[in-house]
């Protein structure tokens, strides 16, 4: 037999393929278990509790730091001495999964850390709990970073199963060695076995490429929606105003708020204190907002405005004081006269009906505009998919983005993204909307479209707290303006009181500073985008 014929004969050898099948079986089972354990381990490693994260670190340290061959022999030959006896296949699966868990944990942890933390904040603000956020928002985005490393691990494991021959696993490499031990034709035998490995690892590589393609939102988008079709749906310059107030009101739970809870203030912040690492940000801030009221909060950067918003929907916990929304604490219980944070904050947020729009927008990067909006209604509020989609499409109409339903955030302008974010917040039917400098990250020419949507909302009777630098917008839309500085409310009143006739010197200074860029007085400061933010 010529050597190519011999290599081919070994490549087609059923004896070797049965060994390969064993390697594949061990790899498949061990990889599945290893990934699951690895995910748990990664989460434990990310735990804020020191003892818990140290335990996971210790496990990783031991398992990664000792040879796998010794681990296998230990499980197979040492555990029987204390009465625990596993067969060779089971031992291999246990050994390889435990090992994979340690390696995968680090890979998964890296993937999770690679996802912008703001994505979690945004999900949380929509009422999504930690597990849901991990499953729907963080892991799908982390997967793109995790996958190449996991494919490496899978290929590595498939080949590493050969070391299990010391524990009676009769796999591919060992079988080829057995043949060589009998006939010494190492070149042709190993070449044939090598080709079998190549076939198997190629399948893994191809699966990796396929999965990467599937995880890439852009390429997935082209798969789902052919170019010629998406071309038909041209972006519409449709203004939000085209929707009637009654139509919009139907989408919002505003009416319910007004009838039942008008009597008591909807949001009450009383003597709120908050510090970060010794720096006091809020020093006894107080705020009352009635249902249906639009309150604009202005003030210098770093004055604690945004922090107050984050405390109202409990994205951060307060140090002292009290905050109630619709008469209840959001994710706190009162204990010994102080508020103590509890679990289930996301749930509480969803129940009370608080939604938030962020300066950094924070749309979910792996979802289309439509999917971003549908996410919380389906997975938090349990809406049927069809209904959620219908409502999401109407909300897109409200914000004037009908043609962009299937576009991913990276293909939308900043203004369009922020309008999707507003629609996403509205989709959970909030009774209170918090806006944290929603136009600060936008180019001046894109601010108008966002502010226009917000104006429509205000007119529809939504309760809103808006942290903003757009003085003219505040004047037009707000029922009340608060000037915030040094962690407290310095002055508050109607827009004309605070903006035109400020009583406090600090307010006056701030307003002068902020309108200096335009060279006009606040009451005349025309375009929203002409303002300069104080540094």
Partner 1 sequence: MRLLVLSLILLAAGGFHSAAKAAVPAECQDVAKKYPSLAGKTLHMGADPQTPPYASLDPENPGKLVGSDIDLAKAVFDCIGVKYEIQPAAWSGLFPAVLAGQIDLMYYLYYNKSRVEKGDFIVYMKAGTGAITQAGNPKHIISGEDLCGKIVATGLGSVEEAQMRELSTKCTTSGKSAVEVMTYSDHAAGFRLVANDRADIMLTDLALVDKTVADNPKTYVRAYGVISGFQIGVAVKKGNTELEGAILDAMKAVQAAGIQKQIFAKYGVDPSLELPAELKTN
Residue 87: partners with Cβ closer than 8 Å, 6 or more residues away: none
**Cβ distance to partner 1 smaller for residue 23 or 463:** 23
Indicate the DSSP class of residue 161: G
Indicate the DSSP class of residue 385: H
User: How far is Cα 504 from Cα 507, in angstroms, rounded to an integer?
Assistant: 5
User: With binding defined as CB under 8 A, does residue 80 bind partner 1?
Assistant: yes
Buried b (16+ CB within 10 A) or exposed e, 193-228: bbbbbeebbeebeeebeebeeebebeeebeeebeee
User: How far is Cα 233 from Cα 398, in angstroms, rounded to an integer?
Assistant: 17
| C-alpha pair distances (Å), 402 with each of 236, 398, 448 | 7, 8, 18
Consecutive H or E run containing 59: helix 50-65
User: How far is Cα 313 from Cα 345, in angstroms, rounded to an integer?
Assistant: 9
Site for partner 1 in 9-38 (CB under 8 A): 13, 15, 18, 25
404 with 235: CB under 8 angstroms? yes
| C-alpha pair distances (Å), 413 with each of 32, 171, 401 | 40, 56, 11
User: How far is Cα 254 from Cα 257, in angstroms, rounded to an integer?
Assistant: 5
Stretch that binds partner 1, among 166-174, 330-338, 392-400, 442-450 (CB under 8 A): 166-174
Site for partner 1 in 89-108 (CB under 8 A): 89-90
Of the residues 3, 4, 58, 87, which one makes contact with partner 1 according to CB under 8 A: 87
**Cβ distance to partner 1 smaller for residue 171 or 397:** 171
Q: How far is the CB of 11 from partner 1 (least distance, A)?
A: 14
**Cβ distance to partner 1 smaller for residue 105 or 189:** 189
Of the residues 1, 65, 67, 182, which one makes contact with partner 1 according to CB under 8 A: 182
Q: How far is the CB of 54 from partner 1 (least distance, A)?
A: 33
Give the residue among 415, 416, 363, 428 at the shortest CA–CA distance from 128: 428
Of the residues 139, 180, 211, 215, which one makes contact with partner 1 according to CB under 8 A: 180
Q: Count of CB atoms within 10 A of residue 58's CB?
A: 10
328 with 352: CB under 8 angstroms? yes
**Cβ distance to partner 1 smaller for residue 164 or 420:** 164
Of the residues 183, 262, 301, 532, which one makes contact with partner 1 according to CB under 8 A: 183
Residue 99: partners with Cβ closer than 8 Å, 6 or more residues away: 34, 63, 64, 68, 71
Site track for partner 1 across 242-281, x = CB under 8 A: ----------------------------------------
**Cβ distance to partner 1 smaller for residue 67 or 382:** 67
Q: Compute CA 400 distance to the chain's CA centroid, rounded to the nearest angstrom.
A: 25
User: With binding defined as CB under 8 A, does residue 372 bind partner 1?
Assistant: no
**Cβ distance to partner 1 smaller for residue 171 or 371:** 171
Q: How many CA atoms lie within 13 A of 486 on its CB side?
A: 5
**Cβ distance to partner 1 smaller for residue 76 or 408:** 76
**Cβ distance to partner 1 smaller for residue 15 or 61:** 15
The stretches of 217-303 forming alpha helices (DSSP H) are 217-224, 227-232, 245-251, 254-261
525 with 512: CB under 8 angstroms? no
Of the residues 55, 149, 166, 225, which one makes contact with partner 1 according to CB under 8 A: 166
Of the residues 100, 165, 362, 515, which one makes contact with partner 1 according to CB under 8 A: 165
**Cβ distance to partner 1 smaller for residue 3 or 58:** 3
User: With binding defined as CB under 8 A, does residue 73 bind partner 1?
Assistant: yes
**Cβ distance to partner 1 smaller for residue 143 or 167:** 167
* Dihedral in degrees, nearest 10, Cα atoms 307, 309, 310, 313: 150
**Cβ distance to partner 1 smaller for residue 18 or 338:** 18
Q: How far is the CB of 181 from partner 1 (least distance, A)?
A: 3
Q: How far is the CB of 167 from partner 1 (least distance, A)?
A: 6
Residue 441: partners with Cβ closer than 8 Å, 6 or more residues away: 359, 360, 361, 414
User: With binding defined as CB under 8 A, does residue 76 bind partner 1?
Assistant: yes
User: With binding defined as CB under 8 A, does residue 488 bind partner 1?
Assistant: no
Of the residues 61, 66, 77, 532, which one makes contact with partner 1 according to CB under 8 A: 77
Of the residues 9, 62, 70, 78, which one makes contact with partner 1 according to CB under 8 A: 78
| Rama region for 6: left / alpha / beta (φ>0; ψ in -120 to 50; rest) | alpha
What is the per-residue DSSP string for 72-112? HHIIIIIGGGGT----HHHHHHHHHHHHHHHHHHHHHHHHH
**Cβ distance to partner 1 smaller for residue 6 or 523:** 6
Of the residues 40, 55, 106, 170, which one makes contact with partner 1 according to CB under 8 A: 170
Beta bridge partners of residue 434, listed in sequence order:
356, 465
Q: How far is the CB of 180 from partner 1 (least distance, A)?
A: 4
Of the residues 177, 208, 288, 402, which one makes contact with partner 1 according to CB under 8 A: 177
Of the residues 98, 102, 167, 428, which one makes contact with partner 1 according to CB under 8 A: 167
Q: How far is the CB of 152 from partner 1 (least distance, A)?
A: 26
**Cβ distance to partner 1 smaller for residue 32 or 512:** 32
Of the residues 148, 156, 181, 444, which one makes contact with partner 1 according to CB under 8 A: 181
Report the interface residues with partner 1, using CB under 8 A.
Answer: 13, 15, 18, 25, 73, 76-78, 80-81, 85, 87-90, 165-170, 174-175, 177-184, 186
């Amino acid at each position: 037999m010529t050597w190519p014929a011999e290599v081919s004969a070994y490549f087609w050898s059923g004896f070797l393929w049965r060994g390969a099948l064993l390697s594949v079986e061990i790899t498949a089972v061990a990889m599945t278990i290893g990934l699951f354990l690895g995910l748990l381990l990664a989460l434990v490693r990310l735990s804020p509790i020191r003892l818990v994260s140290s335990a996971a670190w210790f496990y990783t340290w031991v398992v990664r730091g000792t040879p796998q061959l010794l681990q296998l022999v230990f499980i197979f030959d040492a555990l029987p001495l204390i009465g625990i006896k596993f067969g060779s296949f089971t031992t291999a699966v246990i050994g390889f999964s435990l090992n994979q868990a340690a390696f995968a944990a680090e890979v998964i942890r890296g993937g999770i850390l690679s996802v912008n933390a703001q994505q979690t904040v945004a999900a949380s603000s929509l009422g999504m709990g930690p597990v849901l956020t991990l499953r729907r928002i963080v892991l799908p985005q982390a997967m793109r970073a995790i996958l190449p490393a996991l494919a490496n691990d899978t290929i590595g494991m498939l080949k590493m199963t050969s070391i299990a021959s010391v524990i009676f696993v009769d796999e591919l490499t060992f079988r080829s060695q057995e043949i060589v031990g009998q006939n010494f034709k190492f070149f042709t035998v190993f070449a044939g076995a090598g080709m079998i490995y190549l076939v198997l690892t190629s399948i893994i590589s191809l699966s990796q490429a396929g999965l990467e393609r599937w995880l890439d939102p852009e390429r997935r988008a082209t798969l789902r929606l052919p170019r010629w079709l998406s071309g038909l749906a041209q972006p519409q310059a449709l203004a939000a105003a085209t929707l009637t107030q009654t139509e919009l009101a139907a989408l919002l739970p505003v009416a319910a708020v007004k009838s039942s809870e008008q009597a008591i203030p909807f949001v009450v912040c009383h003597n709120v204190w908050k510090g970060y690492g010794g720096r006091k940000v809020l020093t006894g801030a107080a705020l009352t907002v009635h249902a249906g009221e639009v309150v604009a909060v202005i003030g210098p950067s770093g004055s604690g405005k945004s922090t107050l918003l984050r405390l109202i929907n409990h994205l951060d916990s307060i140090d002292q004081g009290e905050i109630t929304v619709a008469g209840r604490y959001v994710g706190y219980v009162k204990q010994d006269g102080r508020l103590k944070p509890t679990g289930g904050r996301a749930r509480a947020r969803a129940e009370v009906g608080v939604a938030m729009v962020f300066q950094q927008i924070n749309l979910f990067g792996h979802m289309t505009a439509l999917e971003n909006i549908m996410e919380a209604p389906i997975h938090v509020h349990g809406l049927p998919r069809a209904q959620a989609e219908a409502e999401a499409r109407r909300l897109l109409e409200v914000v004037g983005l009908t043609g962009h339903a299937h576009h991913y955030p990276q293909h939308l302008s900043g203004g369009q993204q922020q309008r999707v974010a507003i629609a996403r917040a509205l989709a959970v039917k909030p009774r209170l909307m918090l806006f944290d400098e929603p136009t600060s990250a936008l180019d001046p020419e894109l601010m108008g479209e966002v502010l226009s949507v917000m104006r429509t909302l205000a007119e529809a009777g939504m309760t809103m707290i808006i942290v903003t630098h757009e003085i003219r917008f505040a004047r037009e839309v707000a029922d009340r303006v608060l000037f915030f500085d040094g962690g407290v409310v310095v002055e508050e009143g109607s827009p004309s009181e605070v903006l035109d006739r400020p009583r406090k010197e600090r307010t006056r200074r701030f307003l002068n500073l902020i309108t200096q860029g335009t060279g006009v007085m606040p009451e005349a400061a025309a375009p929203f985008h002409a303002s300069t933010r104080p540094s």
